[in-house]
Amino acid sequence: MKSYFITGTDTGVGKTCFTAGLALAMNASGINVGVMKPFATGIPQKTGYQSEDVKILADASGTKDAERLINPYFFPIPASPYMAANKLNAVIDIRIVLDAFEKLQSLHDVVLVEGIGGIMTPILKDYHVADLIKDMNLEALVVTGSQIGTINHTLLTCDACRRYGIKAKGIIINNSDSSGYAVDDLKADLTNLSGLDILCSIPRLHECNTNEVSKILLENNLLTAL
């Protein structure tokens, strides 16, 4: 099975919950899976991993890998890596991220890499999440929502993949419910407009329940599709 980069149409679309659910499903299926979130920002946790997202990913995968490998860069302000580094007078070295990824690849059969924000979130002035996906030579899984406007956001993300020469494996619709686009209509429209398969749709959950997401992914045979 291949490693994948999980990107999304925006921040808050559920990349972490999906990635953790996928890692747990792989782990339960006997796959040696590693996880990585190269860049994380926000309020630091008081104990353990600095990033709550990183803790969710690590717990789901069962990994004991060092935090410096899973999350090479954490900035304690809610902003893009580019903006956060500028505000904190920090220096980002992409080579550190790529070296950590290569190490994780040597330790695991599959590595799931979760991006920060959307695919064009800036990491450096002229280097975005899309550049990182390209440098890692990974296929992308695109996580999107079901709210009105999601088609525009999803098509822009898919267009960025094409412009950067990134192969998008397919789309995951997250947080689908009756308050936005009807999920069956959304599946049909996104398939027709993007040319990509809808790999799975995940209903809206009250909170990020990794066990429930893993169950949904296994019931939908997502591992077979990958």
Which residues have a catalytic role annotated?
A: 37
**Dist. CA 89–CA 207, nearest whole Å:** 35
Angle between helices 150-163 and 183-194 (to 10 degrees): 30
In angstroms, the CA 145 to CA 177 distance is 10
HSE, side-chain direction, 13 A CA sphere, residue 100: 23
Name, in order, each residue with C-beta under 8 angstroms of 53's C-beta and a sequence gap of 6 or more: 16, 37, 40, 42, 114
CA gap 191, 171 in Å, rounded: 9
Q: Is the CB of residue 35 less than 8 Å from the CB of residue 5?
A: no
Per DSSP, the three-state class of 30 is coil
